[in-house]
């Protein structure tokens, strides 16, 4: 390890003294002005991780749903999954080491992780459309080359596309071809095959309005649409030609404000969806004949997907174990519907794709979605092989179902939640089942809910347990929340520190929207008082 070169190059990416940042829910996220040293250091860390795993590692420069002024970076592990927790700790230590401590930290990580420094390293880099992202991806590459690593810069990519590239490269191309073209072809082929089998091909099922959050999703969907146009025509809004990234649009805005994005014209009963800034989340929605807005979030996506998969398995005659993974944000009605009507086991993990993904890997088929629209389905290797074999052997309806399932397996991005892949899966299912968005929405009725944010001096004062459903500290806060919850019917509330924004998140649900709003407000006040709120007191 040429520590001289590392230190010399680091001076060009100097850490602001005293700045402390943490590898959060999805990597580092902060105002772009604070991040150059983090980018360089994540390039260094990616080289060590690549040497240790003898695999290609990904580095994605994005702050996903955060505002344009922010940015962020995360590492992608060999099978396209999020970085292992022990390496998240290394990332935090490396990011916070003062300049003179940097070489010692690098040596420390290499020793603790038994990194073979003679091993070659290969890192792939991708970035979103933020103004700061291009320069930051160069800083990442500076870090990679300072430690003698080789790299490939994919340039502009959606986050899930980079996850896919890493997975393809580390499976010798078995998962697919590690090019953007390869991604478009694999997904589109599966989608077109699936939709060919749909008997109902009315126009109303085959056009979709997509709000791209003024982000990378617009560029990639524009490139990709020619590949699947046989099965679906998409109309793009907020494509980045004029609006600001994630501003009054995108999946996070639509989900948290429960209203349509700006810049999209919605006629009644038209099917619409929103991606977030790096196209790893999707939510659907429509207006009914009375002009009322209806959100179809990640919970309903999980329900649609798992019921479709279960029906196919029944048709094929296979009894694989299917599980659904959610977080505390899952609407209570969705959990009840999955458990009581669909009879599917449901598990709750902490927020963050990494937690859901790992839980989902425990099943033959694991479906995971956060309510905010981030998710996918995972199929064990044995299931995938069996289904692809059955697709060749079986005939009639069983054969048809096995072929469908084989295509669904190819259509999901199993490396990460992916707005484009999920959109195509949903469109295929709706077409195959002949369902409108309204019929899908009618599967169950969401409990009214509200999400709020509270600013506190230090969000680490709140710690939680029980998959973030209970507060441990500060003392007394959980008791107040529990007492408030008792005052409402069908109610639930929890609070947790965000891992991507400098806020405490508050979630409440109850029997009416007014009650959910009121409960969320009262819980926000309790957080403000007991956890060191700053600025204005929350107002209702
Ligand atoms: C990221 C994570 C998601 C998480 C979201 C919000 O999404 O990948 O798993 O739900 O942040 O996390 P938090 O509530 O901790 O801020 P994205 O789309 O921003 O990458």
Place of tokens 């009879």: 343
Kindly state the tokens that stand for 178: 């590690």
Alpha-carbon distance of 97 to 18, in angstroms, equals: 9
Kindly state the tokens that stand for 40: 């360089």
Answer yes or no: is pLDDT of 29 > 80.
yes
Pocket test for ligand 1, best of 372, 459, 462, 497 (most atoms within 8 A of CB): 372
| Mean of pLDDT values over 149-178 | 97
**202 or 405, which is more confident:** 405
Answer yes or no: is pLDDT of 105 > 90.
yes
Residue 266: half-sphere exposure toward Cβ, Cα within 13 Å? 26
Domains 3-156 and 298-421+436-441 in one fold = yes
Answer yes or no: is pLDDT of 453 > 50.
yes
Which residue numbers are catalytic? 64
Answer yes or no: is pLDDT of 205 > 90.
no
| Residue 457 CA to its chain's centroid (Å) | 27
Model confidence at 206, pLDDT cuts 50, 70, 90, reads: confident
Answer yes or no: is pLDDT of 427 > 60.
yes
Alpha-carbon distance of 419 to 439, in angstroms, equals: 21
CA of 96 to the centre of ligand 1 (A): 22
CA nearest ligand 1 atom 3, residue: 352
Model confidence at 385, pLDDT cuts 50, 70, 90, reads: very high
Answer yes or no: is pLDDT of 204 > 50.
no
Q: What per-residue confidence (pLDDT) applies to 96?
A: 97
Question: Using one digit for the tens of pLDDT, what is the confidence trace for 309-318?
Answer: 999 999 999 9
Pairing state of beta strands 56-61 and 375-379? Answer: unpaired
Q: What per-residue confidence (pLDDT) applies to 203?
A: 47
Closest to 490 in 3D by CA, of 516, 466, 467: 516
CA of 352 to the centre of ligand 1 (A): 6
Question: Using one digit for the tens of pLDDT, what is the confidence trace for 356-376?
Answer: 999 999 999 999 999 999 999
Domain 298-421+436-441 has CATH 3.30.70.120: no
Contact between 344 and 322 (Cβ < 8 Å): yes
Kindly state the tokens that stand for 162: 């980079």
Average pLDDT over all residues of the chain = 96
Sheet holding 28-31: strands in order across?
28-31, 70-76, 56-61, 122-127, 150-156
Model confidence at 197, pLDDT cuts 50, 70, 90, reads: confident
Least confident residue range of 371-375, 438-442, 533-537: 533-537
CA of 328 to the centre of ligand 1 (A): 13
Q: Which helix (H) or strand (E) element contains residue 485?
A: helix 477-486
CA of 473 to the centre of ligand 1 (A): 22
Question: Using one digit for the tens of pLDDT, what is the confidence trace for 122-146?
Answer: 999 999 999 999 999 999 999 999 9
| Mean of pLDDT values over 92-105 | 96
Report domain 449-530's class. Answer: alpha beta
Pocket test for ligand 1, best of 22, 25, 62 (most atoms within 8 A of CB): 25
Alpha-carbon distance of 490 to 486, in angstroms, equals: 9
Q: What is the ipTM of this complex?
A: 0.97
C-alpha to C-alpha distances, 253 to 179, 249, 250, 412, nearest whole angstrom: 31, 6, 6, 25
- DSSP reduced 3-state for 527: helix
- DSSP for 189-225, written as a single string: HHHHHHHHT-S---GGGTEEEEE-TTSHHHHHHHHHH
CA nearest ligand 1 atom 13, residue: 498
CA of 26 to the centre of ligand 1 (A): 6
Q: Kindly report the number of other CB atoms within 10 A of residue 273's CB atom.
A: 25
Question: Using one digit for the tens of pLDDT, what is the confidence trace for 291-312?
Answer: 999 999 999 999 999 999 999 9
CA nearest ligand 1 atom 14, residue: 498
Answer yes or no: is pLDDT of 429 > 70.
yes
Closest ligand 1 atom number to CA of residue 370: 10
| Mean of pLDDT values over 412-436 | 97
Q: What per-residue confidence (pLDDT) applies to 200?
A: 54
DSSP 277: T
| Mean of pLDDT values over 70-98 | 97
Q: Within the chain, what is the greatest distance between any pair of CA atoms?
A: 69
Q: What per-residue confidence (pLDDT) applies to 391?
A: 96
Contact between 287 and 268 (Cβ < 8 Å): yes
Q: What per-residue confidence (pLDDT) applies to 20?
A: 94
Q: What per-residue confidence (pLDDT) applies to 92?
A: 97
CA nearest ligand 1 atom 9, residue: 352
Kindly state the tokens that stand for 469: 């459903």
Architecture per CATH, 3-156: 3-Layer(aba) Sandwich (3.40)
Q: What per-residue confidence (pLDDT) applies to 531?
A: 96
Q: What per-residue confidence (pLDDT) applies to 307?
A: 96
Q: What per-residue confidence (pLDDT) applies to 539?
A: 85
Q: Kindly report the number of other CB atoms within 10 A of residue 402's CB atom.
A: 26
Q: What per-residue confidence (pLDDT) applies to 179?
A: 98
| Residues with C-beta less than 6 Å from any ligand 1 atom | 25-26, 64-65, 276, 280-281, 351-353, 370, 372, 374, 498-501, 505
Backbone phi and psi for residue 357, each to the nearest 5 degrees, phi listed first: -60, -45
CA nearest ligand 1 atom 17, residue: 64
Domain ranges of the chain: 3-156, 298-421+436-441, 449-530
C-alpha to C-alpha distances, 393 to 190, 269, 400, 402, nearest whole angstrom: 19, 41, 11, 9
């Amino acid at each position: 390890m040429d520590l001289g070169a590392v230190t010399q190059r680091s001076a060009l990416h100097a850490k602001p003294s005293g700045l402390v940042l943490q590898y959060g829910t999805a990597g580092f996220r902060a105002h772009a002005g604070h991040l150059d040293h983090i980018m360089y250091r994540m390039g260094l860390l990616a080289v060590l991780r690549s040497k240790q795993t003898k695999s290609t590692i990904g580095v994605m420069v994005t702050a996903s749903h955060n505002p344009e002024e922010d940015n962020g970076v995360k590492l992608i592990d060999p099978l396209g999954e999020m970085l292992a927790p022990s390496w998240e700790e290394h990332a935090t230590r490396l990011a916070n080491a003062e300049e003179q401590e940097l070489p010692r930290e690098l040596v420390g990580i290499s020793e603790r992780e038994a990194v073979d420094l003679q091993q070659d390293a290969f890192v792939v880099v991708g970035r979103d459309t933020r103004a700061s992202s291009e320069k930051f991806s160069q800083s990442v590459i500076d870090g990679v080359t300072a430690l003698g690593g080789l790299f490939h810069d994919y340039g502009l990519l959606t986050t899930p596309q980079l996850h896919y590239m890493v997975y393809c490269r580390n499976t010798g191309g078995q998962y697919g071809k590690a090019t953007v073209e390869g991604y478009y072809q694999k997904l589109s082929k599966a989608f077109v095959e699936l939709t060919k089998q749909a008997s109902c091909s009315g126009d109303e099922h085959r056009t979709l309005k997509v709000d791209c959050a003024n982000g990378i999703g617009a560029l990639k969907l524009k490139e990709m649409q020619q590949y699947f146009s046989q099965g679906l025509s998409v109309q793009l809004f907020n494509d980045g030609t004029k609006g600001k990234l994630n501003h009054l649009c995108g999946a996070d805005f639509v989900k948290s404000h429960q209203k349509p994005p700006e810049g999209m014209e919605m006629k009644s009963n038209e099917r619409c969806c929103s991606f977030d800034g790096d196209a790893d989340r999707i939510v659907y929605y429509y207006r009914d004949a009375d002009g009322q807005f209806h959100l179809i979030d990640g919970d309903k996506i999980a329900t649609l997907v798992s019921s479709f998969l279960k029906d196919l398995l029944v048709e094929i005659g296979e009894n694989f174990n299917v599980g659904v993974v959610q977080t505390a944000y899952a609407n209570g009605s969705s959990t009840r519907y999955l458990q009581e009507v669909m009879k599917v086991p449901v598990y709750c993990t902490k927020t963050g794709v990494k937690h859901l993904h790992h839980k989902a890997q425990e099943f033959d088929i694991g479906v995971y979605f956060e309510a905010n629209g981030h998710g996918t389905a995972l199929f064990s290797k044995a299931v995938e092989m069996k289904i692809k074999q059955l697709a060749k052997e079986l005939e009639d309806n069983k054969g048809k179902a096995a072929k469908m399932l084989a295509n669904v397996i190819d259509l999901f991005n199993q490396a990460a939640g992916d707005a484009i892949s999920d959109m195509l899966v949903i469109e295929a299912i709706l077409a195959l089942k002949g369902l409108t968005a309204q019929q899908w929405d009618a599967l169950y009725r969401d409990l009214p809910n509200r999400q709020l944010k509270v600013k506190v001096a230090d969000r680490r004062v709140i710690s939680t347990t029980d998959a973030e459903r209970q507060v441990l500290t500060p003392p007394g806060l959980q008791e107040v929340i529990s007492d408030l919850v008792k005052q409402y019917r069908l109610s639930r509330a929890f609070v947790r520190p965000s891992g991507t924004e400098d806020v405490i998140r508050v979630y409440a649900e109850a029997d009416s929207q007014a009650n959910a709003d009121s409960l969320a407000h009262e819980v926000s006040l309790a957080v403000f008082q007991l956890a060191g709120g700053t600025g204005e007191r929350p107002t209702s």
